[in-house]
Chain A
Amino acid sequence: MRKIFDFHGGIHPPENKHQSTQGGIESIALPKELIIPLNQHVGAAADPVVETGQHVLKGQLIAEAHGFVSANIHAPTSGHIRAIELRTANHASGMAVLSIVLEPDGEDRWIELESCDQPETLDAQAIIAKVRAAGLAGMGGAGFPTSVKLGGKDIQTLILNAAECEPYITADDILLRHYAAEVLAGAQLLARVFPRLESILIGIEDNKPEAIASLEHALAAQPNTGNTLAIEIVVVPTKYPSGGEKQLIQLLTGKEVPSGKIPAAIGIVMQNVATARAAWRAVRYGEPLISRITTVVGKALKKQGNIEVLIGTPIAHVLSERGFRETESERVVVGGPMMGWAIEDTLAPVVKATNCLLLPSKEELPAAPPEQACIRCGLCAEACPAELLPQQLYWYARAEDQEKLRAYNIFDCIECGACSYVCPSSIPLVQYYRAAKGTIRQAEKDKRKSDQARLRFEARQERIAKAEAEKEAKRLERKKAAEEAKRKLAEKQAAEKSASAYSATESAKDSTKDSAKKDAGEPDMKAIKSEMVKEALAAAAAKKSAQQDDSSEAEKELKRLQRGLSSAESRLERARATLLKNQEEGADATRLDTLAARVKEAEQKVNDARKKLEAAQ
């Protein structure tokens, strides 16, 4: 016998399991429409692959997983796609989410499924692919895509969770009573995905003797081929919340999952028993996940029990099928009394993770009494299975002190509600933690966004500064080049002047020399003279042209101003014309306003241009 460990705290609320375990698994009539949300799982919403009006067969893929953490969605029955639109989600927020609306044709005709007669020959990749194709997502309540969890490399222990510790819920209990063999086959199948697996455990609370017997029976009947791992059924004492992932791991192995880590970090993976069975059916028969066993219980119902229900069935339909007496009911709860949430709109559908619908009568689950001051009794800390300090968390949640909440490990809280359950002041502690977690996550998101914005802002500033600097540098360069040119010109002129003076004296000397040798000197002298005249003429021309340049500068400026004026005038004319046209056509007031403003602006510009022109003249 395996040693059973214990976890800290925990509570023993009334179990209320008998109401729903009397019957078997019943079925209900097909609803008039099925509402299949595209996001029933943790992760990205699936992408629809059908169109409005299209006819689909039972089991046909209607939405495809989007990315790695996502799940396929299949038609729960045959019929027509009526819409892909926003419908109320099965969610505490009551928000609407994109859903595929399917109108059943009543024939319930299956698409051809790809079964596999020898699942034991499949390798790990093939099994994971089939599980992924079938759109499996955790059926114990969290709805995490199953195939993602099967990717863990270094897993030694596979645990099937059959603890079902929350009061009222018996979906897994009933499932085990009927389909224990399939659950075990599913366990063996999933085990083969992990190459280093050493043990397969099934954790179940001792308040389900029938389910345990059924499991044992199936285990004895299981053909022992010798090359499979033995499955061990571990019966744990009934204590809420033994079915919490970390708590069950502690119970069965004595190991604690480190804060902020997933069980895979210590070589453990956990799957719900219903998920294991669905995995078996997906691989063996090619059946996608289109229905589930859900406990529908509470005194406000005529018939309590477990039903096999199609994913997407509106809760209202389930309720009417089970004789719901609205007058007696206090609220409609999805999930159990500890961790469930009330919904307002019963048109919300049953989804892959809906394990229970609780319809308590007013006496059965009265509204919580008003909250009173904390008396610091410490009962909450004693009850907390995560070994947190709920009282401290409560104070810091009220003070919205995110730093302290983190320091007190608020994210290790599994929202089990044990603390609220024991609190003598009936403080809805979990509500505070849920809200606080939400605000912290939001703050983190905002922070990420603002950091991003800061980076982008700074990058832009830098870019602009750089562009400015470049412009400035270019301007400086041009200025320098201009100065350089000026200087050179001046130098050249100076040099030329002295050179001409020099040549003049030289030539004078020459001429005296030349006069000595008269016949040779004559033509030289002439040439030099004409040379000088030419130079003088050129200089004069240059000077004159420079003067002209000056006068043409002013002229140019004048011309520019004139051009500016005329273009401003023509703009004004055009603006007036559009305004008139719009007035005739009867455009709306704001448009006319803007046009009128434009005319004013143009008038202003014309005046400005005129003034400038006058000043220049």
Chain B
Amino acid sequence: MIDILLQHPFISALVALGLLAGTFGAVLGFASVKFKVEGDPLVDQIDELLPQTQCGQCGHPGCRPYAQGIVNGEAINKCPPGGQATINALADLLDVEAPSLDEEHGQEDIKKVAFIREDECIGCTKCIQACPVDAILGAAKQMHTVIAAECTGCDLCVEPCPVDCIDMIPVESTLSDWHWELPNPAQIIATDRQNQEESQAA
């Protein structure tokens, strides 16, 4: 065997290459099994950026399906609750130009939470079935109520309510979530200054 290989360098080269290919193939195969990545990491990354309102305005039954949709080539501007900030973040992640929000799917709105007018609630549990994040507490024929801290403001519980006792109310801002605004953008051109002074005086 050794003799043959020594006499035929060409064959020995082939054998060596074959061996190498075999070993690396085995190593790679082993690695791909051992270090298998669960799910599609890009879907996860996109899902991280979506607001998790789970409202379905994008046309999917939740944020994750939309993330999958984006991976499959859907437009990134279909999520109204996320608004421009989310679109920008997605554009950044996917390295594409950031489009503006597709108005067809809705408009960016202020944050809201659902509120059930409890004395009108008839306890039909329809809203519970609609809520994607289990933010409503109640049982059949009992008064229902929304856990405001868990409510994503998705609006899905409003429609099914047979007595229309669910309101979407704007989230009140408190001292603890107030923060400073960025100053007016810099006035770089000298002639702009006049305008700014005027606007300040006004």
CB distance from A193 to the nearest CB of B (A): 29
Is the Cβ of A457 less than 8 Å from the Cβ of B175? no
**Chain A neighbourhood of B35, CB < 8 A:** none
Mask of A362-376 contacts with B, CB within 8 angstroms, 1/0: 000001001111000
CB distance from B128 to the nearest CB of A (A): 10
Is the Cβ of B182 less than 8 Å from the Cβ of A371? no
Is the Cβ of B150 less than 8 Å from the Cβ of A457? no
**Chain B neighbourhood of A435, CB < 8 A:** 179-183
A441 to B179, CA, bound (A): 9
Mask of A448-480 contacts with B, CB within 8 angstroms, 1/0: 011111101111110000000000000000000
Is the Cβ of A442 less than 8 Å from the Cβ of B179? yes
Q: Is B197 an interface residue (CB 8 A)?
A: yes
* Cβ 8 A contact of A438, one of B62, B179, B184, B197: B179
Instruction: Report the nearest B residue to A403, measured CB to CB.
Output: B92
Is the Cβ of A92 less than 8 Å from the Cβ of B133? no
Is the Cβ of A39 less than 8 Å from the Cβ of B197? no
Mask of B112-125 contacts with A, CB within 8 angstroms, 1/0: 00000000000000
Instruction: Report the nearest A residue to B181, measured CB to CB.
Output: A435
Q: Is A432 an interface residue (CB 8 A)?
A: yes
What secondary structure prevails in chain A residues at the interface with B?
Answer: helix
Mask of B80-116 contacts with A, CB within 8 angstroms, 1/0: 0000000000000000000000000000000000000
CB distance from B96 to the nearest CB of A (A): 18
Q: Is A398 an interface residue (CB 8 A)?
A: yes
Is the Cβ of B179 less than 8 Å from the Cβ of A431? no
Interface residues in A393-443 (C-beta closer than 8 Å to B): 397-398, 427-428, 431-432, 434-439, 441-442
Is the Cβ of A437 less than 8 Å from the Cβ of B179? yes
**Chain A neighbourhood of B64, CB < 8 A:** 454, 457-458
Q: Is B187 an interface residue (CB 8 A)?
A: yes
Mask of A108-119 contacts with B, CB within 8 angstroms, 1/0: 000000000000
**Chain B neighbourhood of A459, CB < 8 A:** 134
CB distance from A373 to the nearest CB of B (A): 5
Q: Is B51 an interface residue (CB 8 A)?
A: yes
CB distance from B149 to the nearest CB of A (A): 8
* Cβ 8 A contact of B52, one of A373, A427, A451: A451
CB distance from A482 to the nearest CB of B (A): 31
**Chain A neighbourhood of B193, CB < 8 A:** 370
Interface residues in B173-202 (C-beta closer than 8 Å to A): 173-175, 177-188, 193, 196-197, 200
Total count of chain B residues near the partner, CB < 8 A: 34
**Chain B neighbourhood of A367, CB < 8 A:** 200
Whether A460 contacts B134 in the complex (CB less than 8 A), given A95-B175, A372-B188, comes out as yes
Q: Is A559 an interface residue (CB 8 A)?
A: no
Is the Cβ of A450 less than 8 Å from the Cβ of B51? yes
Whether A456 contacts B133 in the complex (CB less than 8 A), given A370-B193, A371-B186, A427-B186, comes out as yes
CB distance from A85 to the nearest CB of B (A): 15
A93 to B176, CA, bound (A): 10
Instruction: Report the nearest A residue to B173, measured CB to CB.
Output: A95
Q: Is A445 an interface residue (CB 8 A)?
A: yes
* Cβ 8 A contact of B180, one of A92, A95, A370, A427: A92
Is the Cβ of B152 less than 8 Å from the Cβ of A453? yes
A451 to B188, CA, bound (A): 41
CB distance from B88 to the nearest CB of A (A): 9
**Chain A neighbourhood of B186, CB < 8 A:** 371-373, 398, 427
Is the Cβ of B180 less than 8 Å from the Cβ of A454? no
Q: Is A91 an interface residue (CB 8 A)?
A: yes
Interface residues in B144-184 (C-beta closer than 8 Å to A): 150, 152, 173-175, 177-184
Is the Cβ of A460 less than 8 Å from the Cβ of B133? yes
Q: Is A89 an interface residue (CB 8 A)?
A: yes
A589 to B188, CA, bound (A): 57
Q: Is B53 an interface residue (CB 8 A)?
A: yes
**Chain A neighbourhood of B50, CB < 8 A:** 450
Whether A453 contacts B53 in the complex (CB less than 8 A), given A372-B188, A460-B133, comes out as yes
Is the Cβ of B63 less than 8 Å from the Cβ of A454? yes
**Chain A neighbourhood of B54, CB < 8 A:** 453, 457
Closest 6 CB pairs of A and B: A438-B179, A450-B52, A453-B52, A434-B180, A456-B133, A435-B182
- Given A442-B179, A457-B54: 11 more A-B contacts, CB < 8 Å: A370-B193, A370-B196, A371-B186, A398-B185, A428-B183, A431-B180, A445-B177, A454-B52, A454-B63, A457-B63, A458-B64
Instruction: Pick 28 A–B contacts, CB within 8 A, sort by A.
Output: A89-B175, A95-B173, A95-B174, A95-B175, A97-B175, A370-B187, A372-B187, A397-B182, A428-B183, A431-B183, A434-B179, A435-B181, A435-B182, A438-B178, A438-B180, A441-B179, A446-B51, A450-B50, A450-B152, A452-B150, A453-B54, A453-B150, A454-B47, A454-B63, A457-B54, A457-B62, A457-B64, A460-B132
Give the A-binding residues of B (Cβ under 8 A).
Answer: 47, 50-54, 62-64, 132-135, 150, 152, 173-175, 177-188, 193, 196-197, 200
Give the B-binding residues of A (Cβ under 8 A).
Answer: 39, 89, 91-93, 95, 97, 367, 370-373, 397-398, 427-428, 431-432, 434-439, 441-442, 445-446, 449-454, 456-461
